[in-house]
Structure 1
Amino acid sequence: MPAVPDPSDRSTDLPPGGPGLPPGGPGLPHTIPDLLAATAARCPERPVLRLDGQVLSFADLEARSARTAHWLAGLGVEPGDRVAVLLPNVPEFAVLYYGILRAGAVVVPMNPLLKTREIEHCLADAGAAVLLAWHAGAEHAVEGARRTGTRLVAVEPAALAATLADQPAGPPRTGRRGAADTAVILYTSGTTGAPKGAELTHRNIVCNVRAGVRVLGLVEGDVIFGGLPLFHSFGQVIGLNCAVSVGACVTLVPRFDPLAALSVIQRDRVSVFLGVPTMYTLMLTHPQRAGYDVSSLRVCLGGGAPMPPEVLRGFEADFGCVVLEGYGLSESSPLACANRSDRERVAGTIGIPIEGVRMRIVDESGAEVPDGTVGEVVIQGHNVMKGYWRRPDTTARTVRDGWLYTGDLGTRDERGDFRIVDRRKDLIIRGGFNVYPREVEDVLYEHPAVAEATVIGVPHPVHGQEVAAAVVLREGASATPEEIRGFVRERVAPYKYPRLVWTVDALPKGPTGKILKREVVVPEGS
């Protein structure tokens, strides 16, 4: 039964249209390929993708995606089939992505750094008909496809261009899908077991694009930094698809590096930056930062993990732009909540839900808790996934009565702003007291010698868990673990400060640059 709307909710239904998007009515795009077709008709010669000197226009992308659809049909791909894509951030990703969707198939994006057994799992679980894998370093893709009996096609730019040139340029006769059909299956990181495929529909993504455009104020001609992986929901939906919907350009960066990022911002006059906190930290603290002109930046959106307030404030001051914090997950398409540039922002908060989405903070029974009380973040709206692919039991545990239970702990204040405290699984319970790693990490980032930090719980015979911190020092800075521990001890309650502190050269990170707590190695004897 649908939930009864709560008049106290601080969100609204998503109105039709928006900046850079067609108004409501019969012409409103309903599927992801419709977004591309509409913009290609409006501004065909405008660039949509750039990779160094290589530039692809909207007309190019539209034509090549149509040819891709014909090519895939010739390979035997039928509407509803799953087609896996294992590519880095290159223009060919977008060509294949929109071509698969135009063929009526489902895109299964995969991290090109996956190893054989991980590729095998995703291919087998999705029942992929074809795997399109980047030609360089494809040995794991070859073996994964062999084990599952999946047809493998190596993607090499010149060969793909020649293949597509032989295909018809007109729209495919079959393959048209509806808004409720599955468009993409995104495999989660698998922190709680084998990766699960989150099914996102065309409507999920199109509505998220419309909301993302509003949050960022995107307009035709904007240049978006494309350093987030396109196989990931953040880079794919809020980067690529939002750009396609308004006539903006994504300047691609296959592998993030702070100096390369600063160079691209200067060279291409990037106006919109999308990134995870690590990216902001590395650019802000880089010793050569002052040598680059970043005056083109207008607005940035941070996601993937909470951004330390010191980093946010420092970035805004140094780069002269607005930094918005957003929140979401693959299962929410991904954007669910974000700050707004036209609304007072408080560092450390994630603002209010996007249009058409409701969020609540609930206790273990699912009852909403008072403002200021920590509870689980739950989400309801057009962005909630269709479900986990072929996992009805897991879906039923995660989506209850239309509400997506995120597993994240948060609060809501009297203004309606939400704040993420931590992942429920990252919560540290020391001697019966709850310690939220995010709170301790924010203090660590205030230390002038600390560039990056992460806080984890380690087993303790008396307290159950002990608070521990791994720290990366700024280049040229020095501080002992004892000094850092004392710094935090002066600023938090006695049960919160980390008794164990050690320095490392680097912290383990995932494909988006998000710190992976589960891979942090505690020094022996600690």
Structure 2
Amino acid sequence: MTGDAAPVSPDPSGTDASSTGEESANLALWLTRQATERPDAAAIRQGEVTLSFAALNDASARAAALLAEHGVRPGDHVSLIMPNVAYFPIVYYGILRLGAVVVPTNPLLKSGEISYIWQDSGCRVAVVFAMFAPDAALAAKDTGTDVITVVPGEFDALLAEQQPLAEVTAREEQDTAVILYTSGTTGRPKGAELSNHNIGTNVRTSMDELFSGGPDDVLFGGLPLFHSFGQTCTLNSAVYAGSCLALLPKFDPAAALQVVQDEKVTIFYGVPTMYVALLQFADKERFDTSTLRLAVSGGASLPVEVLHGIEEAFDLRLLEGYGLSETSPVATFNRPDRPTKPGTVGLPIPGVEAKIVGPDDHDVPVGEIGEIVIRGDNIMKGYLNNAAATAEALRGGWFHSGDLGTLDEDGYITIVDRVKDMIVRNGYNVYPREVEELLYTHPAVAEAAVVGVPDASHGEEIAALITLKEGTEVSADELRDWTAERIAAYKYPRIVKFGTIPKGPTGKILKREIKIN
């Protein structure tokens, strides 16, 4: 579904929103409802392509028929490898419509990584965008997975040949809808099983109580849809609420602001690196962003300086939340109806509890650092085919996040760092985020990542990788001295390097890939 390929003609008569009865928890019923109630309203925009809810519903019904032709049955696992293009929601809801399970797969993975996911999840079929077909073909040789390649234009013609699948397969609330593979920062990726209930409650809470989204809203679709944040908070939320999702296949600050201007975006969703890029973009004032009413940040901790800068530059409110793939993802959020506490990730959302515990899993006092643990409607069923990892993560009935944080007297949570990112120098705990927050206040620093490096004398030494703002200059010695004047002696980075900070496809900084000697 690209600018030079016409959307599949809508044929709402080919679907039946009520065919499964009122008890089904299948997420695809959100789409059939919108196609019935608001058939001509725009559901997806991507460049020159616009899909109405009726057209999206019809195309997903045809995609379901195509998948059924390839042997997909209820409960089967189907991999989806695709960028943020209009084909993604078509196939995504086609898979769900069949009662099958979506396994969204990072398009940047190589053949060996894809093979692992397909073998671990037992994917019968994979739907792959053409530009990623070579690696998928190699993975298919290893796994025997049936690959359907999406070539723009050709795939439209293939869908047009299908008879729309009228039935939306009934699913129970606890049936798995999506399997999200974690990034594998601590070993092999694990498949977090999210049920219809997990995703459904997270979407409803997000749109109804956190974002106040509805049919008049246009959501910015620059977050990768294969990732939990983009999938729940933009794609599923838009379809649930009847909002329009304006897709951007690859984030770039100029392209993002162009989408905001052209599509009259009202809610902007991003990760901190996106907001840093927008803030540093010199030409941002030439775009009309007056339709924006809210910005949402997640995926990593947002520096307070960046939060204030975005709110001032775009005259809006930026609310930060927190979650993980295993929490569907939203777990905590700064509420729009309550005072924002910059630097915090807010309060647990309705239906969710969160607390801070020590190494013995007992609660720690207010203000003390401990691990964030979570329970509620949003918590995954478990890790696919990994009972040991599931038992460890969900011990005591709480999901153990691996993130360190504090709880204040009002119940707001502040993220301190990942447990594994904590640096121990001369027996003192150093939390990289604290040092990074300070570095962000330096007028020459655009981005900062602080890591620990092995040191014979101190156990670990503190190192900072810095990206400077365009047109600025500062030496490593100057930045080191500036930091040393403003933070305890055991915390400031003795090693300062300049360069590009490695990031993943969601924009999250990849500290494990930072190599500083």
Structure 1: where are the runs of 5+ without partners?
Answer: 1-25
**Residue type at the aligned position of 1:157:** P
What is residue 429 of structure 2 aligned with on the other side? 434
Question: CA separation in 1, counterparts of 2:296 and 2:102?
Answer: 25
- 1:189 matches 2:183: yes
Query: How far off is 1:169 after superposition?
Result: 2.6
Question: CA separation in 1, counterparts of 2:503 and 2:510?
Answer: 5
User: What do the CA deviations read for 1:296-315 (whole angstroms, capped 9, x no partner)?
Assistant: 11111101110000000010
Using the size of structure 2 for normalisation, the TM-score is 0.94
- 1:120 matches 2:140: no
Which of 354, 361, 380 does residue 359 from structure 1 map onto?
Answer: 354
What is residue 470 of structure 2 aligned with on the other side? 475
| Matched-pair contact (CA < 8 Å) for 2:81–2:127 | yes
User: What do the CA deviations read for 1:113-146 (whole angstroms, capped 9, x no partner)?
Assistant: 1101111111111110001111124211110111
**Residue type at the aligned position of 2:160:** A
Query: How far off is 1:221 after superposition?
Result: 2.0
User: What do the CA deviations read for 1:245-295 (whole angstroms, capped 9, x no partner)?
Assistant: 111111111111111111111111111111100000111111111221111
Query: How far off is 1:28 after superposition?
Result: 8.3
Query: How far off is 1:172 after superposition?
Result: 2.8
**Residue type at the aligned position of 2:198:** N
- 1:180 matches 2:181: no
- 1:281 matches 2:276: yes
What is residue 209 of structure 1 aligned with on the other side? 203
What is residue 509 of structure 2 aligned with on the other side? 515
User: What do the CA deviations read for 1:453-500 (whole angstroms, capped 9, x no partner)?
Assistant: 100000011110011100000011111111111221121111110000
**CA RMSD after TM alignment:** 1.2
- 1:412 matches 2:400: no
Query: How far off is 1:27 after superposition?
Result: 5.5
What is residue 227 of structure 2 aligned with on the other side? 232
Using the size of structure 1 for normalisation, the TM-score is 0.93
- 1:369 matches 2:364: yes
- 1:257 matches 2:227: no
Change (3 A) 1:495 1:28: farther
Which of 43, 47, 52 does residue 52 from structure 1 map onto?
Answer: 47
**Residue type at the aligned position of 1:145:** A
| Matched-pair contact (CA < 8 Å) for 1:82–1:108 | yes
| Matched-pair contact (CA < 8 Å) for 1:358–1:380 | yes
Question: CA separation in 2, counterparts of 1:160 and 1:199?
Answer: 29
| Matched-pair contact (CA < 8 Å) for 1:224–1:251 | yes
- Is 41-50 or 164-173 further displaced after alignment? 164-173
Query: How far off is 1:158 after superposition?
Result: 1.7
| Matched-pair contact (CA < 8 Å) for 2:25–2:170 | no
| Matched-pair contact (CA < 8 Å) for 2:107–2:132 | no
Which of 484, 488, 493 does residue 483 from structure 2 map onto?
Answer: 488
**SS of alignment partner, residue 136 of structure 1:** helix
What is residue 444 of structure 1 aligned with on the other side? 439
Change (3 A) 1:28 1:279: farther
| Matched-pair contact (CA < 8 Å) for 1:31–1:206 | no
User: Structure 1 stretches (4+) deviating beyond 6 angstroms?
Assistant: none
Question: CA separation in 1, counterparts of 2:368 and 2:464?
Answer: 26
What is residue 162 of structure 1 aligned with on the other side? 157
User: What do the CA deviations read for 1:16-68 (whole angstroms, capped 9, x no partner)?
Assistant: xxxxxxxxxx9687331122122222211111111111001111111111122
Change (3 A) 1:318 1:29: farther
Change (3 A) 1:298 1:28: farther
Q: How does 1:311-322 map to 2 (within 5 A)?
A: 311-322=306-317
| Matched-pair contact (CA < 8 Å) for 1:29–1:35 | no
| Matched-pair contact (CA < 8 Å) for 2:24–2:170 | no
Query: How far off is 1:157 after superposition?
Result: 2.6
Query: How far off is 1:502 after superposition?
Result: 0.9
What is residue 241 of structure 2 aligned with on the other side? 246
Question: CA separation in 2, counterparts of 1:399 and 1:40?
Answer: 39
What is residue 68 of structure 2 aligned with on the other side? 73
Query: How far off is 1:436 after superposition?
Result: 0.5
Which of 11, 29, 34 does residue 34 from structure 1 map onto?
Answer: 29
Question: CA separation in 2, counterparts of 1:28 and 1:61?
Answer: 23
Number of aligned pairs? 496
